[in-house]
Structure 1
Amino acid sequence: MGGGCKPDMDLTNPQEISIGTYYKNVAELEAAIIPAYQAIIGKVQGGYARSLYYELLAPGDDFTHTFKWEPMYQDTYNTPSSDGMALSSWKDFFNGVFAANTALQGIENFTGTIDAGVKNRMLGEAHFLRGLHYMHLCMMFGETVPLIEKPVAGDADYYPTNSTAGKIYARIIDDFKQAAELLPLRSAMYANAAFTGRATKGAAQAYLAKAYMYRPILEAGKTAEFDKARDELKKVIDSKEYRLVDNFRDNSLEATENNAESVFEVQMQNGPGWLGDDMSCSWRWQEIGMYDGTGGAWWNLAPNKKTYNEFEPGDPRKYMTLWCDNGATYTQIDGKVTDYAYWMAHLATNKDFYGTRKYCPDVQTADFDDGINDRLLRYADVLLMYAECLNETGDANGAKPYINMVRARANKVVPTEQPQLWYQHSPGTIPDVDGLLAKDTTINGIRLNNIKNIIQHERYVELCGEYLRYFDLLRWGLADAKWLEPLKALGWTPRATYYPFPQAELDNNKNLKGNDMNR
């Protein structure tokens, strides 16, 4: 067909929803944000609903894969680029980036009538979520993942190249900064019950601080910005929006989700169906909760002996975190109440590993999944990060009260616990920081004779199973190599800092080069 014969056709499909035809009112702008939240759960099952608890926990020295999953690559530091879990997470987090970018463009370009506070809140949520998705991508795959800051506009946008040094870190910092400026306080956000669980000013400030502390992971060769992190964490503390709840276990139960200690958590919902019919639920209890041989649990990943030994005598958190000897009982769906002796009698092997009681119900559910939220950032973490920042900026004594707050809560009686557990009626007996220093004890080869080592220990036990241990060791180890020794003993090498880029992505996008694990 010659140029003069080109038909004059309108090729717009009037039934097709697009950015240009959809975001025409405030309700549609609100709806644009939701997919960015859903991507954290993981519609491709690469989020916290399923894959991430393997990918974030297994590389640490605190969890080990059991005989139930051979081979599992995530704790061997030799994950192949063909690994399905890595691909699923890559897809889900980039879906989240796409959703956040789309929401930002729709909100920024909106010309209709909208309340300024509502617009700022929505922009803040979108910036927060883009920063959160990029933080996960950078933690898992390194800073050379593609940097995508706007929705796809043409074919070329489908094939981005690698980001350059420092760009992703700068994007994460800027997104969290903007979110912190735009978002309301938790009390204002949660005044609308429908917004419970959404990002807030405190969440943005806390994640901004966390990003500053994670800089050695997010930007290769750079040091943590403890002074900047300290200032952001102080804002969260001074806001009086958060407090430690009385019962440590309330931070892993479905009935006490989004409590006063919650800074940000993944909102899980256990609806009807499973294996694809219900995509907003958690499989965590089934896959890494109870021991094998009890109630049909799979027990693919388990806390190891080192984790068991990290808890001090008299620390009730041990029994609220682990399924172990002298701890809680578990009721199977048939009504049979089982205990540690029963689990050991029915366990084929790996009897020196433990179950994960945190986020696991004490009574078996009829479904494989449940609706227990993952608490991604708690106020206890804020206090311990602030103590770390104070210590790293020269105020070791100033750090002590914040560590003591967490340790004092650990000692509290938990009246709602199972009645045979001693701390249901008697307090715990772990000492405060000065008492711990005076004891000069050594746990798992670390001498607790200085504030840094005590913070390391306290983060281990307080936040066990909350996806932080590997990244704590990594960020400390990139500044002081001694902290990498526990990982090196398991086979870790610098090459294995991140997961490889998925081979399917490299095959599809010839403009993209993999990281060291792809070579």
Structure 2
Amino acid sequence: MKKFIIFTILTLPVIFSACKKDLEIDNPNNPTINNFWKTATDAQTGVNSIYSTFHRVGFCRNQFFMTIVRSDEGFSTSPNSTLINNFDVFNVTNYNLWEATTVWYDLYMGINRANQVLDNVPNISMDNTLKAQYLGEAKFLRGFFYYYLATLWGNVPVLLKTSTPTDYPGTTQQADVYAQAEKDFTDAAAALPETYDGANVGRATKGAAYGMLGKCYMQMHDYAKAQQAFDWLINGNGKNIYRLVTNYRDNFVEASENNTESVFEIQNAVNTTDNHDDDTQGNSDNLNYGTSIPPFFAPRPIGFTDGQARRWCVWEFLVEKTNSGGRDPRVDASFLYDSTDVRGPDFSMIYGQSFSSRNYSNVSGDPIAVATTHTVYFRKFLDDAIINYEYFHSGNNYRYLRYADILLLYAEALNAQGQTTQAYAYVDKVRARAGLPTLSTAKPGLSQSQFLAQLKHERVTELCGEGHRWEDLVRWGDLSTALAARDAGFANYQDKYALLPIPQYDRDVNPNLKQNPGW
């Protein structure tokens, strides 16, 4: 059951007067700037509208093509060649590509909603503790959106007030965009509660703010500050709140949402009274509260397979055996492929049918699969645990920030500061859940560079297909044509592809907006 509020899109239309006097009377039931932002309920509605940005198509679907398919862990066999060219093989020709501009516009829509809250809620007479929480949530969400803009586009406008039609903001450099996100997360951490009651589980918490703050510092290679931010979750009050769940797959199925490993989770909900055949059926407000990513990543004929996994990712899981001599259990939670069941394709079930019966061996797949043409599908966002089909408004929550991610980043921050020996313990916590021998036992005495190489492996086996690979490659400085050895698309890679091109639509109307280098 979802333990969260129903999101409401907040619109604040300005009601213009007409020429005739009998049409000059405002409808008192319509929200306007003059009659909204008066009560605590208005404040909550405003904050809820920021969260609802996550259900727009840019974030609930298209950002996964940027963070998964564009990285070396994913690729596309979509019949839509623009997806392949723009996100897979680095042949970008369309600066206004819908799949990219929707993410850009949705992020700025979320920022504008956050700015409305920050501009107006301080003037509302209401409980001060609750007011501080709402403002903290708005700061967190604005920081989250700027984190994504800094990661994907880099040099973008920073808007800190409600937008007006006369705004023509200039470009802010990537480092300063991250700095704004860091400020928002710092302010949010000071204001947000550590936990919520059942009705509000899913809202941003102090731990989420510290986690995102640490991620910002990691991308800027400020490892000491990253360690300090993560420390609240690992050695501060957060250590009594967050812990790894026993069953790794519990992080990816609806039945175990908002568990102890979830630091920040995008709340998705499906209307169970509808027929699951479009985005909005059954919802009186005509909104989609779920995510539409499953049908685009699910194998055919269940889905469209616009995004799928590289076979090399599977091989990473097979490098080591568990303490009992078995296979890393995370592999079957991460992928649907010919051996999701270790016994092989006759036993590996794909939405109620065996892999072999679906004849996927004849599907043209990963050109670097080498030993097999069998394709591999990301599993973590799919609904195969509960149904044998997919729909465009899945209720499966997106666990954006997990405690396991925090532990591995904390180890990376320690190692980067020369504290490699101390970093072992945090990697060992993640490996222990998978039943693997401790790294302290398997590979003691690693040098700083060797430990980082091991961390790169650990992050694949723990986080593959969750949307973090691109930022990892950027942080490590690993984006290059050398990745073509396992992802053919990178043969076309150039330095300019580290950032996406600024949408030309925006540059056409805003002469102050500069294009990213190389574009």
TM-score, with normalisation over the residues of structure 2? 0.82
Aligned partner of residue 415 in structure 2, secondary structure: helix
Instruction: Give the equivalent residue in structure 2 for 1:425.
Output: none
Instruction: Give the equivalent residue in structure 1 for 2:391.
Output: 367
Q: For the structure 1 residues 345 and 376, does the alpha-carbon distance in structure 2 shift closer, same or farther, using more than 3 Å as the test?
A: closer
Q: Distance in 2 between matches of 1:17 and 1:252?
A: 38
Instruction: Give the equivalent residue in structure 2 for 1:250.
Output: 250
For 1:46-445, what aligned pairs fall within 5 Å after superposition? 46-47=58-59, 49-66=60-77, 68-71=79-82, 72=84, 73-79=86-92, 80-110=94-124, 112=125, 114-143=126-155, 145-152=156-163, 154-157=164-167, 159-164=168-173, 166-186=175-195, 189=196, 191=197, 193-215=198-220, 224-237=221-234, 238-239=236-237, 240-271=240-271, 272=274, 274-277=277-280, 278-289=287-298, 291-293=299-301, 296-311=302-317, 312-313=319-320, 314-328=327-341, 329-330=348-349, 332=351, 337-345=352-360, 347-350=362-365, 351-362=373-384, 363-365=387-389, 367-411=391-435, 430-437=436-443
Query: 2:278 touches 2:393 (CA, 8 Å); kept in 1?
Result: no
Query: 2:95 touches 2:502 (CA, 8 Å); kept in 1?
Result: yes
Q: Distance in 2 between matches of 1:482 and 1:302?
A: 20
Q: For the structure 1 residues 511 and 360, does the alpha-carbon distance in structure 2 shift closer, same or farther, using more than 3 Å as the test?
A: same
Aligned partner of residue 268 in structure 1, secondary structure: coil
Deviates more, 1:377-386 or 1:263-272: 263-272
Letter in 2 for 1:342: S
Deviates more, 1:505-514 or 1:271-280: 271-280
Deviation at 1:287, TM superposition (A): 1.0
Q: For the structure 1 residues 68 and 341, does the alpha-carbon distance in structure 2 shift closer, same or farther, using more than 3 Å as the test?
A: farther
Cα deviations across residues 475-515 of structure 1 (Å, max 9, x unaligned)? 110xxx68873269442221111111112222232332222
Aligned partner of residue 341 in structure 1, secondary structure: coil
Q: Distance in 2 between matches of 1:32 and 1:356?
A: 35
Match of 2:482 among 467, 481, 485: 485
Deviates more, 1:387-396 or 1:275-284: 275-284
Deviation at 1:330, TM superposition (A): 3.3
Cα deviations across residues 432-453 of structure 1 (Å, max 9, x unaligned)? 213432699xxxxxx9982111
Query: 2:336 touches 2:350 (CA, 8 Å); kept in 1?
Result: no
Letter in 1 for 2:122: E
Deviates more, 1:97-106 or 1:13-22: 13-22
Query: 2:480 touches 2:490 (CA, 8 Å); kept in 1?
Result: no
Query: 2:296 touches 2:303 (CA, 8 Å); kept in 1?
Result: yes
Which ranges of structure 1 fall in alignment gaps of 5 or more residues?
A: 1-6, 216-223, 412-429, 441-446
Which ranges of structure 2 fall in alignment gaps of 5 or more residues?
A: 1-18, 281-286, 321-326, 342-347, 366-372
Cα deviations across residues 362-416 of structure 1 (Å, max 9, x unaligned)? 33246344211111100001111111111111111111111011011012xxxxx
Deviates more, 1:261-270 or 1:489-498: 489-498
Query: 1:78 touches 1:496 (CA, 8 Å); kept in 2?
Result: no
Query: 1:173 touches 1:208 (CA, 8 Å); kept in 2?
Result: yes
Q: Distance in 1 between matches of 2:128 and 2:288?
A: 34
Deviation at 1:107, TM superposition (A): 1.4
Query: 1:269 touches 1:280 (CA, 8 Å); kept in 2?
Result: yes
Deviation at 1:141, TM superposition (A): 1.1
Deviates more, 1:32-41 or 1:265-274: 265-274
Q: Distance in 1 between matches of 2:44 and 2:379?
A: 36
Aligned partner of residue 492 in structure 2, secondary structure: coil
Query: 1:292 touches 1:347 (CA, 8 Å); kept in 2?
Result: no
Letter in 1 for 2:356: A
Query: 1:93 touches 1:133 (CA, 8 Å); kept in 2?
Result: yes
Deviation at 1:174, TM superposition (A): 0.6
Deviation at 1:165, TM superposition (A): 5.9
Aligned partner of residue 167 in structure 1, secondary structure: helix
Query: 1:500 touches 1:514 (CA, 8 Å); kept in 2?
Result: yes
Letter in 2 for 1:116: N
Query: 1:97 touches 1:133 (CA, 8 Å); kept in 2?
Result: yes
Query: 1:252 touches 1:372 (CA, 8 Å); kept in 2?
Result: yes
Query: 1:436 touches 1:448 (CA, 8 Å); kept in 2?
Result: no
Aligned residues: 457
- What is the aligned-residue identity percentage? 30
Q: Distance in 1 between matches of 2:174 and 2:98?
A: 27
Q: Distance in 2 between matches of 1:150 and 1:339?
A: 54
Deviation at 1:232, TM superposition (A): 1.1
| Alpha-carbon RMSD | 2.6
